[in-house]
Structure 1
Amino acid sequence: MAQIAQLLIPFLLLSIFLSLPLGHVAEEAGSLSRHCLENPPTLNSSYGAGSVKEIGGLKAYVSGPYHSKRAVILVSDVYGYEAPHLRKIADKVARSGFYAVVPDFFFGDPYVANTSRTIPDWLKTHGTDKGFEDAKPVIAALKQKGIHAIGAAGFCWGGNVVTKLAKTNLIKAAVLLHPSWVTVDDIKAVKVPIAILAAELDNGTPAKQLEEFKSVLSQDKVKNFIKIYPKVKHGWTVRYNDTDTTAVKAANEAHKDLLSWLSKYVKKRY
């Protein structure tokens, strides 16, 4: 009997591990889009028109008018806040009058592709639940410096973090760009105007699921905008190939839609 019990222990532990709720490593790693880790960026700590400051205990790339009363937090994918395309988006947001903030939610430890460290291993210390908690002091610090209205946009991993923020009153509006691990139950809890910008070729957030999201948000009378961009795949808004004209065009279109949504609902009263 003792030998049987020893054999069963690993299976019991695996069952517990796999039953962890959304935000934990098993669930996250298990529902990644097949394109989630493609085309990793070449990180550049000095890229962009802005600078790096400490906000709420995190390093953050910031861009735009420091005395603005409106801010947008941009939450990265697993490759982190030094991705040039992400900082380029932050600069676009800044030129629209927002104080753009891209926190380093990974504390100098973004995921590195093509290494022996797997994404499940990396997610053990960088789950989206932790990202959500780490966002709170950033938001508090922004409000302390006089910012009255905050929006948030999240990419892939960051889309899940921003969904969690959208369930609270911490932000005025949210944009999810090809988000990962977002469920209908998550959407049912959303309180703020939300836009979901999705790729046609994304098994992580398929069209049928987006239809469910739309139905839930409309039923709950939450202002929403859901758009599927044709011929592009998961990650295209921030990890597009500069030589792929279709992806670049679609990415720029998504960036405009992001700005339009945030301008409408974050600038609304300020």
Structure 2
Amino acid sequence: MRKPKITKAMIDAYDEYTHLTLDRRRFMETLTRLTGSGAAAAAIAPLLAADPARAAIVAATDERIKGEDIAYPGADGEMKGYLVRPAGQDGKLPAVMVIHENRGLNEHIRDVARRLALEGFMVLAPDFLTPSGGTPADEEKARQMISALDPAKTTANSVATVTYLRGRPDGRGKVGAVGFCWGGGLTNRTAVNAPDLAAGVAYYGMQPDATDVAKIHAALLLHYAGLDERTNAGIPAFQEALEKNGKDFQIYIYEGANHAFNNDTSAARYDKKAAELAWGRTVAFLNKHLS
């Protein structure tokens, strides 16, 4: 059987399923209609999803980094996360929180944390499902657990993570945040609620309420995918509020790219050119604001 071409309609259906409905049966019915058969839909679905086998760009055993799972104080109880820093650097480092997608703290996000550590940062990737027992191996279950989280409590745990990193003796006292998708939205909410956050980088993240923008102190770098109509609908109001309140921000829209273009474990949505350009801008931005 010849594999059908992956279309924007198929990607949009997957985006609706993973971010709005969480209804896999309805998604597969839509995909079957779009591809023409159940067999074709079954072949396409894994290409739209993330493949954990593609996760490791920087291995956990890479001698250039040192990583460990840690526990630290959250807003109301213990939080857990993955802390990684460059090996052989005993001096104080700028700190960055990496906020996962709605799949939880999985191997891809751990890998992203290691990539950022190789750029010279101390990186903490929290597991925001800690209060619910931690990120499960089942991606479907993780999404359901993420959707059940209390946004205010989750934001409070993110702010507590900034406080923790800012107080670490091996840090320089400046903290940045980088978030993807669900984590991009949480990065924006953290910027609203954490006056000590120095820099925030949101990849295709939902925007905060425009009335809250005045509370932001962090410099912001906002990456959006050109084809991501759902997320991009909030750009104009956010940009207007940032400009009106004199905030330090940059917005980049990567034309032709889909939502989650940075996630290289998703064959259908990963855009190498956009991802590499956004990553270079991210590292330069963090170096500038956390030095």
Alignment TM-score > 0.5, same fold = yes
Which residue of structure 1 aligns with residue 258 of structure 2? 233
Correspondence for 1:90 among 105, 110, 113: 113
Distance (whole Å) between structure 2 residues aligned to residue 235 and residue 110 of structure 1: 21
Deviating beyond 4 angstroms after TM superposition, the runs of 4 or more aligned structure 1 residues are 28-32, 43-47, 117-122
- How is 1:109-124 mapped onto 2 (pairs within 5 angstroms)? 109-110=135-136, 112-113=138-139, 115=140, 119=143, 122-124=146-148
CA contact (8 A) 2:208 2:238 kept: no
Q: CA deviation at 1:254?
A: 1.1
For the structure 1 residues 111 and 176, does the alpha-carbon distance in structure 2 shift closer, same or farther, using more than 3 Å as the test? farther
State the TM-score, normalizing by the size of structure 1: 0.72
Correspondence for 2:218 among 192, 199, 204: 192
Distance (whole Å) between structure 1 residues aligned to residue 251 and residue 98 of structure 2: 19
Distance (whole Å) between structure 1 residues aligned to residue 165 and residue 256 of structure 2: 38
What are the Cα deviations for residues 127-169 of structure 1, in whole angstroms up to 9, with x where unaligned? 4433222223333332332221000111111112211221121
For the structure 1 residues 110 and 184, does the alpha-carbon distance in structure 2 shift closer, same or farther, using more than 3 Å as the test? farther
Any unmatched runs of 5+ in structure 1?
1-27
Which residue of structure 1 aligns with residue 127 of structure 2? 104
Which residue of structure 2 aligns with residue 137 of structure 1? 160
Distance (whole Å) between structure 2 residues aligned to residue 63 and residue 242 of structure 1: 29
For the structure 1 residues 119 and 186, does the alpha-carbon distance in structure 2 shift closer, same or farther, using more than 3 Å as the test? farther
For the structure 1 residues 55 and 122, does the alpha-carbon distance in structure 2 shift closer, same or farther, using more than 3 Å as the test? closer
CA contact (8 A) 1:31 1:181 kept: no
Which residue of structure 2 aligns with residue 260 of structure 1? 284
Distance (whole Å) between structure 1 residues aligned to residue 217 and residue 59 of structure 2: 35
Which residue of structure 2 aligns with residue 54 of structure 1? 70
State the TM-score, normalizing by the size of structure 2: 0.68
For the structure 1 residues 69 and 249, does the alpha-carbon distance in structure 2 shift closer, same or farther, using more than 3 Å as the test? same
- How is 1:150-229 mapped onto 2 (pairs within 5 angstroms)? 150-167=175-192, 168-180=194-206, 182-206=208-232, 209-229=234-254
Deviates more, 1:104-113 or 1:73-82: 104-113
Any unmatched runs of 5+ in structure 2?
1-17, 28-45, 73-77
Distance (whole Å) between structure 2 residues aligned to residue 89 and residue 248 of structure 1: 15
- How is 1:14-25 mapped onto 2 (pairs within 5 angstroms)? none
Q: CA deviation at 1:239?
A: 4.7
SS, match of residue 97 in structure 2: strand
Q: CA deviation at 1:76?
A: 0.5
User: Is 1:63 equivalent to 2:85 in the alignment?
Assistant: yes
For the structure 1 residues 102 and 192, does the alpha-carbon distance in structure 2 shift closer, same or farther, using more than 3 Å as the test? same
Q: How many residues align?
A: 231
Deviates more, 1:96-105 or 1:175-184: 175-184
What value does the CA root-mean-square deviation take over the aligned residues?
3.2
Determine which structure has greater relative contact order: mean sequence separation of CA pairs < 8 Å that are 6+ residues apart, divided by chain length. Answer: 1
SS, match of residue 110 in structure 2: helix
